[in-house]
Amino acid sequence: MYDHVLLPTDGSEGTAAAAEHAASLADAYDATVHVLAVADERNRFESPSAGIAAEAWEESERERAEAAVDETASALPDGVAVERVVTEGIPHEAIVEYAEDSGADVVVMGTHGRTGIDHYLVGSVAEKVVRTSPVPVMTVGLDD
């Protein structure tokens, strides 16, 4: 049923809870967990007068994504097959694209549970993935 479990990570606390669920599925179905982090290509701080230059932003995002993948993959049990992936793009779009291209059977991802103004301003990657994913998505809250 589940041969490929996609576990997106941003390195936050929510990923640890999602990783437990992904590992459980992988163990039950002898599946491979694809740990994916997206280096966000949108530099919100670039401007002519202040902010971060494009090259510095890209390097910083790539390093953050690589660290998130390494941390999340190392938290998985030793017997779980793991694929480590870092890609660039807009996070929710890159996650859905990878799910389609990799043949993922399910996406397991953490959610911050933002509400109100935080949800409006920051948005929800998990919510956008749920709405657009071609495969089932299991969301795991921080408290799980």
Residue range 23-47, pLDDT digits in tens: 999 999 999 999 999 998 876 655 5
CA angle 128, 130, 134 (to 5 degrees): 110
Sheet holding 137-141, edge to edge: 81-89, 32-40, 4-8, 106-111, 137-141
| Residue 86, helix vs strand vs coil | strand
For the domain bounded by 4-141, which CATH number is listed? 3.40.50.620
Percent of the chain whose predicted confidence (pLDDT) is above 70? 83
Residue range 42-83, pLDDT digits in tens: 766 555 555 667 787 788 889 999 999 999 999 999 999 999
Residue range 88-107, pLDDT digits in tens: 999 999 999 999 999 999 99
